[in-house]
Amino acid sequence: MSGYRLSSGGQIDRARPLSFAFDGKRYQGYAGDTLASALLANGVDLFGRSFKYHRPRGLFSAGVEEPNALVTLRSGARAEPNTRATVVELYDGLEASSQNRWPSLAFDVMAMNQLAGPLFSAGFYYKTFMGPTRKAWMLYEYFIRKAAGLGAGTLLPDPDRYEEMNAFCDVLVVGAGPAGLMAATAAASSGARVILADEQSALGGNLRGSASAQENLAGLAALDNVTLLARTTVYGYYDDNTLGAVERVADHVAAPAEGQPRERHWTIRAKQVVLATGAIERPIIFGDNDKPGVMLADAGRLYVERHGVAPGRRVAVFANNDGAYRSVAALTTAGVAVSAIVDARREIGAEAQAIAAASGAELLLGQVVTRALGGQRLSGIEVAAFDPVQGARDGAQRQISADCLLVSGGWTPTIHLASQAGGPARWDDSLTAFLPGEASQPWRAAGACQGTLDSAACFAEGAQAGAEAARACGLSPNPVSLPGAKTEPLADVPLPVWDARPPHGKGKAFVDLQHDVTASDISLAHREGFRSVEHLKRYTTLGMATDQGKTSNVTGLALMARERKLSIPEVGTTRFRPPYTPVSLGALAGQARGSHFRPTRRTAMHDWHVENGAEMQAAGLWLRPRIYAQGSETVEQAYSREARQVRASVGMVDVSTLGKIDVQGLDAAEFLNRVYSNGFLKLPEGKARYGLMLREDGFLWDDGTTWRLSETQFLMTTTTANAAPVLSQLEFLLAAVWPELKVAVTSVTEQWAGMAVSGPKSREVLASVLDDLDMSNEALPFMGVRKGHLNGLPVLVARLSFSGELAYEVYCGAHHGEAVWSRILEAGKPFGMIPYGVEALGTLRIEKGHVAGPELDGRTTAEDLGLAGMTSRKKHYIGSSMLKREGLTDPARLKLVGFVSADGGKIRAGAHLVAANDTSSPPRSLGHITSTTYSPALEKYIALGLLEDGPERVGEKLVATYPLKNIDVDVEVVSSHFFDPEGSRMHV
Partner 1 sequence: MLQITCPHCGARAESEFHNGGEAHIERPKDPAALTDAEWAEFVFLRDNPKGLLLERWNHTQGCRRWFNVARDTVTYEILAVYPMGSQPPALDPRRYV
Q: Which residues bind partner 1 (CB under 8 A)?
A: 238-240, 242, 267, 269, 440, 696-697, 728, 731-732, 735-737, 739, 876, 880-882, 885
On the 0-12 / 13-18 / 19+ scale of CB atoms within 10 A, 351 is: middle
Cis peptide before 579 (omega within 30 of 0): yes
Closer residue to partner 1 (CB): 128 or 242: 242
- Could you tell me the smallest distance in angstroms from the CB atom of residue 740 to partner 1? 10
Close Cβ partners of 400 (under 8 Å, ≥ 6 residues apart): 316, 339, 340, 342, 380, 381, 383
Closer residue to partner 1 (CB): 397 or 880: 880
Closer residue to partner 1 (CB): 724 or 819: 724
Within 13 Å of residue 160, how many CA atoms lie on the same side as its CB?
25
Cis peptide before 854 (omega within 30 of 0): no
* DSSP 8-state code for residue 88: P
Closer residue to partner 1 (CB): 357 or 621: 621
Closer residue to partner 1 (CB): 440 or 612: 440
- Could you tell me the smallest distance in angstroms from the CB atom of residue 732 to partner 1? 6
- Could you tell me the smallest distance in angstroms from the CB atom of residue 164 to partner 1? 12
Q: Provide the sign of the torsion angle of the four alpha carbons 631, 636, 638, 640, taken in this order.
A: negative
Cis peptide before 483 (omega within 30 of 0): no
- Could you tell me the smallest distance in angstroms from the CB atom of residue 667 to partner 1? 16
The C-alpha angle 958, 963, 964, rounded to 5 degrees, equals 145
Closer residue to partner 1 (CB): 234 or 542: 234
Helix, strand or coil, per DSSP, at residue 107:
coil
Closer residue to partner 1 (CB): 681 or 736: 736
> By C-alpha distance, which of 106, 105, 66 is closest to 88?
66
Closer residue to partner 1 (CB): 527 or 885: 885
- Could you tell me the smallest distance in angstroms from the CB atom of residue 876 to partner 1? 5
What does the alpha-carbon distance between residue 323 and residue 325 come to, in Å, rounded to a whole number? Answer: 5
Close Cβ partners of 102 (under 8 Å, ≥ 6 residues apart): 108, 109, 110
Closer residue to partner 1 (CB): 697 or 918: 697
Q: Which H or E run includes 732?
A: helix 723-732
> By C-alpha distance, which of 328, 323, 368 is closest to 345?
368
> By C-alpha distance, which of 682, 668, 677, 678 is closest to 741?
668
Closer residue to partner 1 (CB): 224 or 240: 240
- Could you tell me the smallest distance in angstroms from the CB atom of residue 880 to partner 1? 7
- Could you tell me the smallest distance in angstroms from the CB atom of residue 696 to partner 1? 5
Q: Would you list the DSSP string of 146-170? A: HHS--PPPP-SPP-S-EEEEEEEEE
- Could you tell me the smallest distance in angstroms from the CB atom of residue 608 to partner 1? 31
Closer residue to partner 1 (CB): 697 or 980: 697
Closer residue to partner 1 (CB): 644 or 875: 875
- Could you tell me the smallest distance in angstroms from the CB atom of residue 239 to partner 1? 5
Closer residue to partner 1 (CB): 269 or 526: 269
Closer residue to partner 1 (CB): 240 or 982: 240
For residue 850, which amino acid is it? H
> By C-alpha distance, which of 247, 213, 217, 243 is closest to 230?
247
* DSSP 8-state code for residue 251: T
Closer residue to partner 1 (CB): 98 or 860: 860
Close Cβ partners of 333 (under 8 Å, ≥ 6 residues apart): none
- Could you tell me the smallest distance in angstroms from the CB atom of residue 851 to partner 1? 24
CB atoms within 10 A of CB 732: 10
> By C-alpha distance, which of 366, 362, 439, 372 is closest to 403?
372
- Compute, in degrees rounded to 10, the torsion defined by CA atoms 576, 578, 583, 587: 170
* Range 98-111 burial, b when 16+ CB lie within 10 A, else e: bbbbeeebeebebb
- Could you tell me the smallest distance in angstroms from the CB atom of residue 235 to partner 1? 15
- Could you tell me the smallest distance in angstroms from the CB atom of residue 252 to partner 1? 29
N residues, the chain = 988
Residue 586 near residue 159 (C-beta atoms within 8 A):
no
- Could you tell me the smallest distance in angstroms from the CB atom of residue 242 to partner 1? 5
What does the alpha-carbon distance between residue 766 and residue 762 come to, in Å, rounded to a whole number? Answer: 6
Q: Edge-to-edge strands of the sheet including 659-664?
A: 688-694, 700-710, 713-718, 659-664, 744-747
The dihedral region occupied by 183, where left means phi > 0, alpha psi between -120 and 50, and beta the remainder, is: alpha
CB atoms within 10 A of CB 781: 12
- Could you tell me the smallest distance in angstroms from the CB atom of residue 439 to partner 1? 12
> By C-alpha distance, which of 554, 918, 871, 488 is closest to 701?
871
- Could you tell me the smallest distance in angstroms from the CB atom of residue 949 to partner 1? 27
> By C-alpha distance, which of 340, 337, 333, 382 is closest to 361?
340
- Could you tell me the smallest distance in angstroms from the CB atom of residue 885 to partner 1? 7
Closer residue to partner 1 (CB): 859 or 876: 876
Closer residue to partner 1 (CB): 230 or 882: 882
- Could you tell me the smallest distance in angstroms from the CB atom of residue 635 to partner 1? 37
Residue 313 near residue 377 (C-beta atoms within 8 A):
no
- Could you tell me the smallest distance in angstroms from the CB atom of residue 734 to partner 1? 9
Closer residue to partner 1 (CB): 408 or 677: 677
On the 0-12 / 13-18 / 19+ scale of CB atoms within 10 A, 463 is: buried
